[in-house]
């Protein structure tokens, strides 16, 4: 008798949970669906983070750049597929930040790599920093170094990509100060 009582209780719990899940599924954006969407992109985020680290470790090796490109595309596709989160400002910001980060890293690893080789061989110190005031080097020395060695067009592209790249990291910065730089 004890076994049948447990079986009835388990059956009742299962039907209750299944009914809630089914009801949420028909509403499309219940707690279960939101949790499912939250988890959907989680592994892609881990893969993306791993590929960012590997790109840094292996110094933009072509196979690492390709893996990062694939991870970026996969993660962006995942964010775009989220139906219940499409109007969630946190997810919209995350998707936009990911797009900017990917564009920045891929640009630095591919299109900018020849310019980087040139400026690395030029004498003179210009250290790009990690603060609002030094993202283009102290006293914006990066502008002169890139413009003189790679051309003004390369500087303009570098500046645009880096501003977008850093906006997600330094949301408190006034990037308008660099418009006319």
Give Cα 114 distance to the centre of its chain: 24
Give 55-92 as a DSSP string.
Answer: HHHTTT-HHHHHHHHHHHHHHHHHHHH-STTTT-HHHH
Structurally, how many domains does the chain consist of? 2
**Per residue of the chain (181 residues), what is the pLDDT tens digit?**
444 444 444 444 444 444 444 444 445 788 888 888 888 888 899 999 998 888 888 777 888 889 999 999 999 999 999 889 888 899 899 899 999 999 999 999 999 999 999 998 887 888 888 888 889 998 999 999 999 999 999 999 999 999 988 888 888 889 888 888 8
Q: Is residue 34 included in any domain, yes or no?
A: no
Q: Residue 96: which domain range?
A: 40-110
Q: Are residues 96 and 48 in the same domain?
A: yes
The pTM assigned to this predicted structure is 0.74
DSSP H helical ranges for the chain? 2-27, 31-40, 42-57, 62-81, 89-109, 113-121, 141-150, 152-167
Q: How far is CA 9 from CA 12, 14, 19, 134, in A?
A: 5, 9, 15, 64
Count other C-beta atoms under 10 Å from residue 82's C-beta.
Answer: 19
Q: Are residues 149 and 165 in the same domain?
A: yes
Q: Is residue 6 included in any domain, yes or no?
A: no
């Amino acid at each position: 008798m004890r076994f049948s009582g447990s079986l009835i209780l388990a059956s009742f719990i299962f039907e209750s949970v299944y009914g809630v899940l089914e009801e949420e599924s028909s509403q499309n954006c219940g707690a279960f669906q939101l949790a499912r969407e939250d988890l959907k992109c989680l592994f892609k985020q881990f893969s993306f983070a791993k590929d960012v680290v590997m790109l840094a470790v292996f110094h933009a090796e072509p196979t690492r750049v390709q893996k990062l490109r694939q991870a970026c595309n996969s993660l962006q596709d995942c964010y775009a597929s989220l139906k219940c989160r499409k109007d969630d400002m946190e997810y919209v910001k995350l998707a936009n930040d990911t797009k900017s980060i990917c564009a920045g890293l891929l640009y630095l690893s591919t299109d900018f790599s020849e310019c980087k080789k040139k400026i690395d061989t030029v004498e003179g110190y210009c250290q790009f920093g990690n603060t609002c005031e030094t993202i283009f080097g102290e006293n914006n020395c990066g502008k002169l170094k890139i413009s003189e060695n790679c051309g003004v067009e390369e500087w303009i592209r570098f500046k645009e990509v880096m501003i977008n790249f850093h906006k997600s990291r330094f949301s408190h910065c006034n990037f308008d100060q660099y418009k006319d730089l």
